[in-house]
Structure 1
Amino acid sequence: MFFTTNPICAQTIKVACVGNSVTYGAGIKDRATNAYPAQLQNLLGNNYEVANFGFSGATMLKNGHKPYWDKTEFKASQNFAPNIVIIHLGLNDQGNNNWPKHKDEFIADYLEMIALYINLPSKPRVIICKMTPTFSGHHWFEEGMRENFQEIQDKIETIAKTANVELINLHEPLYRFPEYFPDNLHPTKQGAYVIATKVYGAISGDFGGLKLPEYYGENMVFQRNEPIIITGTANTSEVISVSLHNNKATTKATKNGTWQVTLPAMKAGGAYKFSVTSQSSKNITFNKVFVGDVWLASGQSNMDWKVHQMQSAPSVVKDSLNSNVFVFSMDAKVLHGNKYTQQDFAKINANDYFKYSGWSNQKDEVFKNFSAIAYAYAYRLQKELNVPIGIICNAVGGSPIQSWISRERMEKTHETISMLNDLWLNPLVDSWNSKRKSENFNFNKNLKNRHPYDPTFLFDAGISPLKNFNFKGVIWYQGESNAEREDLYTRLFKMLVNDWRTHFKKPELPFYYVQLSSINRPNWGAFRNAQRKLLTIKNTGMAVSYDAGHKTDVHPTQKWIVGERLSKIALAKLYNKPIAFSGPLLDFVNVIDSKLEVHFKHAEGLKTLNGNEINDIEIAGANKVFVKAMAKIKNDKLIVWSPKIENPRFVRYAFSSFTNGNLINKYRFPASTFTNIIE
């Protein structure tokens, strides 16, 4: 063992697990062998004696409905003469029958219990725990429990500091595994094992030695011109030394096994040697790393579409390799339309869903299987900026936007809580996603497993592991799996952008996205218009792609042009390059007699492709019944009318799901789908 505050040679170390039903093991089959204290015993081995003093329903509050103070388990835990005490209480205090009336007593009661244990004749080491999760499916969640829970978690942190005792965070990573909590409160055997490993690490200091996140490796790129934060795990109190080029730093792993160093900002350059060493574990060295700009590419299948699948792929592979572009793929291990096997279900968890490719700048399988759009984007940035560009892609085909949003964020509104709680044929979920899940689950709605398209899953598996890495910005191509409900998507997209900016600790993180292309599917015109209106979000940009669509194929192969359009947005808006980056965007509409005068932003040289008449343009009166319109261009404005509409009020353009819209500016950027209807 690495350390204990009470070293006892050739003597069994007694561990008292104090708590409520989670400690007791309520709901776990074969509780005596599978509750967390029993699994902790197996991890610690014969030098320890672990005893379970859990009591279901117990409160920390003396004035709670079932105080632990009154239970025989409390007295028995003291008589056990423990050397270590693990306290996990508070879950039952969050109920409205306890918390509102007695919450001001919680800290005093908890501190008194800690003092009582510390002053036992055995003088135990006391460790307290932040609570395991209470999930949104609990019937009291929106009736105050959500807020009560967070108040208790905050108070437990205060208590640990006040009493100067160690704190174990049992909320993470269990919060990323709702499948381990079938009743939204009590963990399964697997959940109990996670608790046991967290407690084992706190007691022993053993966290498996020096480790770095999986996205570290040869040819990786660190973000330039910003402090370089490097994180990892190691055994408790392990001294960690980090070296990158001429910069060095030393730190010590915390009691929870984490460590972090911050190196000074560096200008673009490389290759540099990067090493991380520890005093007793293995050392890690990468001989070639770089400093430049790092981007995250995410979304669904059109972002995931590979270099080797794109139009003109052979010439791209042959002629467009850029050795200063470094790509890294996170590929889904399970994604198909058949019935899932037990092996499939085993991989659909937040720890194991993605396969990491490692970094590459070579003409190899990593490059050929990388996102075509993301590569085109990075290629153009590198040519213009002349710095190393790193880009990570974790797009997943068919994924809806709600799968990419964190549980923290989705638990804040009733609408998204509904999506979290009803995972089977929820009417808020697009029909294709529901059908695919039904097929994968063999139409068995009693399965408690997660599906890759379930809300929060891809955040847990693909975004949470990256949140300590520093990205310059995000490019996003997604929406096909949410196109049935554009108003809901608008709310979810705003939620996602804010959520990622919060987790990446960059409130103004650039977020550039692709407007859906063109296909004969219902509602795509209205959806593209909804995406246009999302440009009101600060530090966003939108690449129009309907002119690169296909009438029947949801995966059009013209990916290079889409990646280039995204890159021009970044170059103009973020890097201040004097280049055009957008097609005409609706500004406002004037009513002039029986005609509408449409004004645009980015309308210099407004014209049609090949000089033809304007396609897919419609006009309506106050009743919003649209008819085909006549139109002409005058001084970069669009004049629209119809003899059938005497008093026009509304116009819409490129609203057909598969549109032949042909309005462009002098830079040949296509105009976005638009209407002036405000809803």
Structure 2
Amino acid sequence: MKSTLKVLQILLLSLMLLFSASIHSQNKIKVACVGDSVTFGAGIQDPEEHSYPAQLQLLLGTDYEVGNFGHSGATMLRNGHKSYWDTTEFKKSQDFAPNIVIIHLGLNDQGNNNWPNHKDEFEQDYLDMIAVYKSLPSKPKVIICKMTPTFSGHHWFEEGMRENFKEIQSKIETIAKKASVDLIDLHEPLYRFPEYFPDNLHPTKEGAQIIASKVFSAITGDYGDLNLPLLYGDNMVLQRHDTISFNGTANYNDTVTVQFNNDTKLVKADFNGQWNLSFPPMEAGGPYPLKFSTPTKSVEIENVYLGEVWLASGQSNMDFMVRDMESAATVLKDSLNDQVFLFSMDGKTLSGEKFSADELKNCNAADYFESSGWTTSNAKDLESFSAVAYAFGYTLQKKLNVPVGIICNAIGGSPTQSWISRESMEKQHETVNLLNDMRLNPMVDTWVAERIELNMEDHSKTKIKARHPYQPTILFDAGVMPIRDYNIKGLIWYQGESNADHMDLHSKLFKMLVADWRSHFQNENLPFYYVQLSSLNRSTWGRFRDSQRRLLDIPNTGMAVSYDVGNEKDVHPIKKWIVGQRLSKIALHNDYNFEIGYSGPLLDFVNVIGNTLEVHFKYGEGLKALNSPSVKDVFIANADKVFVPAQTKIVNGTLQVWSPEIKNPRYVKYGYTPFSNGNLVNSYGLPASTFSNCIE
């Protein structure tokens, strides 16, 4: 009898557990992930564990049931080559009775076998699919996604796919509005990680993790509570006289309260966790308290200043530290200024050896830079800061008598292309090739290409997804994207050493860089002041300096000449204070209306007078040869462009040049010797730029 009772008890308990499990299963929130091969997890080892729906399941936990209804190759288009409408996954996703549907389709529609002939059908087909899911008995919430990236290495990229992709992304935004559904942006966070797309279309498990995280936040509204941008912190400097914008992320629909300078503003975080609000422009001053808060978290910043904010960038001569400059001890003792505030972004990985596994892990857009936070210019923090940037900021502060903030993100050895955004590089065939051909590319300066090869040796064997800091776009992704929403007054730039062997390409890249950064900082007139390379005994440097002079045709740029403070054998000359001061003179004149000399003589035009060339200059007032009766490093040529040393004389503010060997002169060069002893200056003592009226 007891035995029978025990069996009945066990049976009853089992039935209760089964009933409880059934009820729990029925109460689970069902999420249907609808899509193509990216949803399915193509190219990922063990997609049942590492596809984005599988990783989403882990993030959501046991209260949710996630179904993977991805079908490789599927199109949204009903008339596409493999329409999702015709797949068994489409039927299964409806039978799943979902409570939430996540749709990520469109990647296969961009092919020329689909888009050109059926593009006008895409919008209605998508709206119809949304309607099908919305009409299910389970009445699910439908969320659609902007497509994950298609990278330039795809073999159809320049054969229409680039343009088709953009059209589809635009249509998806329109569809979201028409259907009144929420939209997840899966493009932007992944676009900065091409290393996670080995075939230029399908993400690795690391890329799938980013997708899962974005979808998790969209479903739950959980964006990790209040998070603030990189540049926010004690001693931060905000740009005076500009609208003061604050932004960040918070959980969906949370109210974010911002208290600043006795004013309070509130804003709600949107579906994507984003929030931003503005305060009116203010005069220079501080320190002021600043507080951000949500219902569950607050961040207080004690000292915030209003003043002038500049970004300093480039390669090693901008990164060159105060402690290594000429007269460093004097600067660190007598030129400290507690109204100059420094923010340093330093690259974690840079060496002349093969990168270790740990170093490789830092070679991506999320982890490459390590930031100092804002510091005052005390001796301890200043000694490792950019010498040129500090000289610039110090001189500005002394003239303006307001707080000055300097952000420096320069990386030694970096070429121009590493600082340009992918969206800009993808527009032209020449730069698309630069993006795609990464290994010993003949368009890349030899030193740069060999350093990449050395550092990344056997990198593929480590299975660590990485990009070299000298490869295209990575420093933009890692060092510009995180700060682009911060208002700055302008930019100072010292770079070119790693592009000096390909000066024509550099000129194209530099123009792209300036336009690109102005676009991302949302200021088409953003001042951009750069340093002309110094003197060094490298064969291309004279012509390169002249190519930099010609870049002054870009509006609202300025150039500080530095060949007179170069070093014949050292690419890192130590007279950095002079260079920073020259940059500051440009800013003080152009941006702050100081009537000061800010440019050395610049070639204006050349007249031919018999066997003599008469060279006219802008900014040539008080033209003279410094410490010599004649101007040095001047050459002259006939139409054949065979140059010989020239004799010179300065007459009424013009430079006259001639040679007994040249009977019909047409061309002149000045300062073209790589390590130049050129000595032409104006009344302000500022050196003339390297120049020639001969374009080689």
| TM-score (norm. length: structure 2) | 0.95
Please give the secondary structure, in 2, of the residue aligned with 1:103: helix
Deviations 1:613-649 (CA, angstroms, capped at 9, x unpaired)? 2111000000100001111111110000000010000
Contact 1:424 1:445 (8 Å CA) reproduced: no
Does the 8 Å contact 1:357/1:366 carry over to 2?
no
- Residue of structure 1 aligned with 2:362, choices 347, 356, 381: 347
Mapped to 1, the partners of 2:224 and 2:380 lie a distance apart of 32
Q: Secondary structure at the match of 1:27?
A: coil
Q: 1:153 aligns with which of 143, 148, 169?
A: 169
Q: 2: distance between equivalents of 1:364 and 1:343?
A: 31
Amino acid at match of 2:644: V
Aligned partners of 2:278 and 2:177: how far apart in 1? 25
Q: Does 1:529 align with 2:532?
A: no
Q: Does the CA contact (< 8 Å) of 2:332 and 2:379 recur in 1?
A: no
Distance (whole Å) between structure 2 residues aligned to residue 309 and residue 219 of structure 1: 26
* In structure 1, C-alpha distance between the alignment counterparts of 2:539 and 2:99, rounded to whole Å: 67
The residue that corresponds to 1:578 in the other structure is 595
Partner of 1:200: 216
Work out the CA distance in 2 between the residues paired with 1:343 and 1:469: 31
Deviation per residue, 1:329-349 (Å, 9 max, x gap): 000100101111110111111
Bigger mean CA offset, 581-590 vs 355-364: 355-364
**Residue 276 (structure 2) aligned to one of 235, 260, 265:** 260
User: Residues 445 and 16 from structure 1, CA distance in 2 versus in 1: closer, same or farther, beyond 3 angstroms?
Assistant: closer
Q: Does 1:507 pair with 2:513?
A: no
Paired position in structure 1 for 2:21: none
> For residues 127 and 270 of structure 1, what CA distance do their matches in structure 2 show?
45
Change (3 A) 1:443 1:533: farther
Q: What is aligned with 1:5?
A: none
Q: Is the 8 A contact 2:342 2:377 kept in 1?
A: no
Aligned in 2, Cα 1:30/1:18: closer, same or farther, shift over 3 Å?
same
Deviation track 1:76-132 (CA, whole Å, cap 9, x = no partner) reads: 000000000000000000001110110011010000000110110000010000000
Q: Say whether residues 1:547 and 2:564 are aligned partners.
A: yes
Letter paired with 1:560: W
Equivalent position to 1:400, from 371, 394, 415: 415
Query: Which range moved further: 383-392 or 396-405?
Result: 383-392
Number of the residue aligned with 1:356: 371
Alignment-mate amino acid for residue 193 of structure 1:
Q
Q: Distance in 2 between matches of 1:620 and 1:243?
A: 67
Letter of the 1:382 counterpart? Q
- CA-CA distance at 1:172 after TM superposition: 1.4
Matching residue of 2:671: 654
Q: Do the aligned residues in 2 keep the contact of 1:44 with 1:200 (CA within 8 Å)?
A: yes
Range with greater deviation from structure 2 (159-168 or 439-448): 439-448
Task: Give 3-state SS (helix, strand or coil) of 1:623's partner.
Answer: coil
Instruction: Choose from 249, 254, 271 the match for 1:238.
Output: 254
Local SS of the residue matching 1:324: strand
Matches within 5 A, 1:300-319: 300-319=315-334
| Equivalent in 307, 311, 314 of residue 299 of structure 1 | 314
The reply to whether residue 120 of structure 1 matches residue 136 of structure 2 is: yes
**Cα distance, 1:449 vs. partner?**
2.7
Residue of structure 2 in register with 1:50 after alignment: 66
Query: Structure 1 CA distance, aligned partners of 2:655 and 2:576?
Result: 30
Give deviations 1:199-247, integer Å, cap 9, x for gaps. 0000011111101012111000011111111011111111001111123
C-alpha separation between the residues in 2 aligned to 1:538 and 1:118? 53
- Name the CA distance, whole Å, in 2 between partners of 1:364 and 1:508: 35
In the TM superposition, residue 364 of structure 1 has moved relative to its aligned partner by 4.2
SS of residue in 2 equivalent to 1:357: strand
- 1:496 is matched with which residue? 513
Instruction: For residue 289 of structure 1, give the secondary structure of its aligned residue in structure 2.
Output: strand
Distance 1:167 1:188, change over 3 A: same
CA shift at 1:248, angstroms?
2.0
- The answer to whether 1:564 aligns with 2:578 is no
Aligned residue among 95, 105, 116 for 1:79: 95
How do residues 84-123 of structure 1 correspond to structure 2 at under 5 angstroms? 84-123=100-139
Query: Which of the numbers 594, 612, 615 marks the counterpart of 2:632?
Result: 615
Q: Distance between the aligned counterparts of 2:188 and 2:54, measured in 1? A: 21
3-state SS of the aligned residue for 1:498?
A: helix
Q: Which residue of 2 aligns with 1:673?
A: 690
1:210 corresponds to which of 226, 232, 239: 226
Give the Cα–Cα distance (whole angstroms) in 2 for the partners of residues 258 and 631 of structure 1.
64
What is the CA–CA distance in structure 2 between the aligned matches of 1:666 and 1:468, rounded to whole Å?
41
1:283 is the counterpart of 2:314: no
Deviation at 1:445, TM superposition (A): 7.5
Cα distance in 1, alignment partners of residues 26 and 121 from structure 2: 42
Rounded Cα–Cα distance in structure 1 between residues aligned with 2:634 and 2:354: 45
Question: Following superposition of structure 1 onto structure 2, how do residues 570-609 of structure 1 map, counting pairs within 5 Å?
Answer: 570-609=587-626
Report the Cα distance in structure 2 between the residues aligned to 1:498 and 1:432, rounded to whole angstroms. 27
Distance in 2 separating the partners of 1:385 and 1:112? 62
Deviation at 1:366? Answer: 2.4
- Contact 2:29–2:99 at 8 Å: present in 1 too? yes
Aligned with residue 478 of structure 1, among 489, 495, 507: 495
Contact 1:516 1:544 (8 Å CA) reproduced: yes
Please tell me the residue identity of whatever aligns with 1:481.
Answer: S
Amino acid at match of 1:368: E
Contact kept? 2:585, 2:596, Cα under 8 Å: yes
1:169 corresponds to which letter in structure 2? D
CA distance in 1, matches of 2:385, 2:265: 34
> Residues 135, 289 of structure 1: CA spacing in aligned structure 2 closer, same or farther, 3 A cutoff?
same
Quote how far apart the aligned CAs of 1:611 are: 3.2
For 1:366 and 1:11, locate their aligned partners in 2 and report how far apart those are by CA, in whole Å: 57
CA distance in 1, matches of 2:188, 2:382: 34
The alignment status of 1:626 with 2:643, answered yes or no, reads: yes
The 2-side partners of 1:612 and 1:472 are apart by 42
Secondary structure of the residue aligned to 1:225 is coil
Identity between Structure 1 and Structure 2 (%)? 63
Counterparts of 2:379 and 2:690 in 1: how far apart (Å)?
A: 39
* 1:582/1:602 contact within 8 Å kept: yes
How far, CA to CA, are the matches of 2:182 and 2:125 in structure 1?
18
Q: More deviation in 456-465 or 612-621?
A: 612-621
Which residue is 1:326 aligned to? Answer: 341
* Distance in structure 2 (CA, Å) of the matches to 1:393 and 1:444: 29
Distance in 1 separating the partners of 2:138 and 2:352: 59
2:585 counterpart letter in structure 1: K
1:135 to 151, 167, 170: 151
| CA apart distance, 1:443 | 6.3
Corresponding residue of 1:4? none
Aligned residue for 1:272, secondary structure, equals strand
What's the CA shift string for 1:473-507, capped at 9, x where partnerless? 00000000000011111000000000000000000
Per-residue CA shift, 1:343-393, capped at 9, x if unaligned? 011111101111110111141432211100000000111111111111100
By how many angstroms is 1:249 displaced?
A: 1.1
Letter matched to residue 453 of structure 1: Y
The 3-state SS of whatever aligns with 1:399 is coil
The correspondence for 2:484, drawn from 443, 451, 467, is 467
Name the larger-Rg structure. Answer: 2
CA deviation after TM superposition for structure 1 residue 9, in Å? 11
Whether the 8 Å contact between 2:424 and 2:516 is mirrored in structure 1 is: yes
Question: Does the CA-based 8 Å contact 1:179-1:450 persist in structure 2?
Answer: yes
**Given residue 321 of structure 1, which amino acid in structure 2 is its aligned partner?**
L
Aligned partners of 1:426, 1:250: CA distance in 2, in Å? Answer: 51
**Is the 1:297–1:395 Cα contact (8 Å) retained in structure 2?**
yes
Provide the rounded CA distance (Å) in 2 between the counterparts of 1:146 and 1:650: 44
Long gaps (5+) in structure 2: 1-23
Give the aligned partner of residue 375 of structure 1: 390
Paired amino acid for 2:414: S
3-state SS, counterpart of residue 549 of structure 2 = helix
Distance 1:507 1:119 in 2: 47
Other-structure match for 1:426: 441
Q: Secondary structure at the match of 2:606?
A: strand
d(CA) in 1 for partners of 2:412, 2:263? 41
What is the rounded CA distance, in whole Å, between the counterparts of 1:364 and 1:12 in structure 2?
60
Aligned-partner SS, 1:424: coil
1:333 and 1:353 in contact (8 A); partners too: yes
Judge conservation of contact 1:248–1:263 (CA < 8 Å) in 2: no
